[in-house]
């Protein structure tokens, strides 16, 4: 993808931004227990977030020697969160669809969530990580096979959510007369996570939008691939969801320290290679992501204005939705209050 195409894609995305960008809070099952996350979901809605999403993991990115470890069931929790909240969009960010979940069950989960929270459910999906699939019995495949598996699963999921009876005989997944008998009136939107052009192209052909990290080096290429795929498939482009990580504390140093365990999420090999040991993931994160680089890629600051400035900069890449992941391990509840009082109002005032 040439530089010019990427630049044009960002210009196009900006032109098609809605007047009101949505802001979602992303909540981390890897770090916080499910009951505390439920409280965070309510607080995020009260703070003014338009949506609440949660990670979907079997394992955390570190061991208990580093930080508290958790791994609650995303889909059990989403049902509880749907009941505890009133207006926020709600869904997974993201559910891996290459092995641990059967795609028929994923579609069933998403449809049920929409029935419990009418007009509010969404489904974020992706190829996941070895750390969550290998413990469930998978031999972690090469990236090409990861993408093939994702495509097959996505075909089944989207067809079921459209109300079809699905027969599918794929290389990796099969369905025989599958149908969702509890089907909501509104079709649940499906967003595909994409860190590279191949997944973005798949999102353009099959999903309702693309979900990627708010990295200014990466976003233009992903958006360009997504837009081109939509045009080739003669589909209207959908959501462009950009995600950032934030940490709020009394000082910048404290904000960095309480987020340190998340460095492993910024190592590309943890998504492509068969690295499944949380201790190894943490060590590689500390080794390969020095603090200066880490603070450029996450928003770790005591100053709400710094959070506003950094989010605005990413938003200019063409986001329809900004997803802001709360990794404020010291006091996640206080961080949500800061966003409700000082960050979200400034973002919306602009």
Catalytic residues: 57, 129
Is 95:56 a contact under the CB 8 Å cutoff? yes
Look at strands 209-213 and 239-247 and give their pairing.
Answer: parallel
Q: Name the phi and psi angles at 71, rounded to 5.
A: -170, 55
Which residue in 171, 175, 169 sits closest to 144, CA to CA? 171
Measured in degrees and rounded to the nearest 5, phi and psi for residue 66 equal: -100, -50
* Euclidean distance between the first and the last CA atom of the chain, given in angstroms as a whole number: 32
Which tokens belong to 158? 């989207």
H or E stretch including 321? Answer: strand 321-326
Are 24 and 85 a contacting pair, CB within 8 Å?
no
Question: Among candidates 271, 258, 331, 333, which has minimal Cα distance to 299?
Answer: 258
Cβ-contact 66, 95 below 8 angstroms: no
Give the torsion sign (CA, 198, 200, 202, 205): negative
To the nearest 10°, report the CA torsion of 60, 66, 67, 71: 20
CA 85 – CA 110 distance, rounded (Å): 17
Q: Taking a C-beta distance cutoff of 8 angstroms, is the pair 311, 343 a contact?
A: yes
């Amino acid at each position: 993808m040439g530089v010019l195409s990427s630049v044009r894609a960002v210009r196009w995305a900006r032109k098609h931004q809605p007047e009101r960008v949505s802001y979602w809070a992303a909540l981390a099952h890897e770090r916080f227990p499910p009951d505390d996350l439920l409280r965070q979901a309510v607080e995020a809605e009260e703070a003014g977030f338009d949506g609440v999403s949660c990670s979907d993991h079997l394992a955390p990115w570190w061991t208990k020697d580093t930080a508290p470890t958790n791994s609650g069931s995303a889909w059990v929790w989403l049902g509880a969160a749907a009941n505890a909240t009133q207006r926020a969009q709600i869904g997974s960010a993201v559910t891996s669809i290459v092995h641990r979940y059967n795609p028929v069950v994923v579609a069933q989960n998403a449809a049920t969530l929409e029935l419990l929270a009418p007009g509010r459910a969404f489904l974020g999906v992706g190829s996941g990580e070895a750390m969550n699939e290998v413990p469930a019995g998978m031999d972690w495949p090469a990236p090409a096979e990861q993408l093939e598996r994702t495509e097959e699963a996505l075909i089944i999921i989207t067809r079921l959510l459209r109300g079809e009876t699905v027969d599918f005989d794929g290389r990796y997944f099969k369905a025989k007369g599958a149908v969702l008998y509890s089907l909501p009136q509104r079709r649940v939107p499906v967003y595909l996570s994409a860190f590279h052009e191949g997944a973005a192209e798949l999102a353009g052909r099959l999903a309702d939008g693309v979900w990627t990290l708010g990295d200014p080096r990466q976003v233009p290429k992903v958006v360009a691939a997504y837009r081109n795929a939509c045009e080739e498939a003669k589909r209207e482009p959908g959501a462009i969801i950009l995600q950032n990580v934030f940490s709020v504390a009394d000082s910048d140093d404290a904000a960095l320290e309480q987020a340190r365990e998340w460095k492993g999420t910024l190592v590309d090999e943890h998504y492509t290679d068969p690295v499944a040991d949380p201790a190894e993931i943490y060590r590689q994160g500390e080794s390969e992501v020095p603090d200066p680089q880490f603070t450029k890629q996450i928003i770790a600051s005591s100053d709400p204005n710094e959070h506003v400035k950094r989010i605005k900069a990413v938003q200019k890449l063409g986001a329809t939705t900004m997803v802001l992941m709360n990794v404020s391990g010291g006091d996640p509840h206080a961080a949500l209050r800061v966003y409700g009082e000082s960050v979200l109002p400034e973002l919306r005032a602009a």
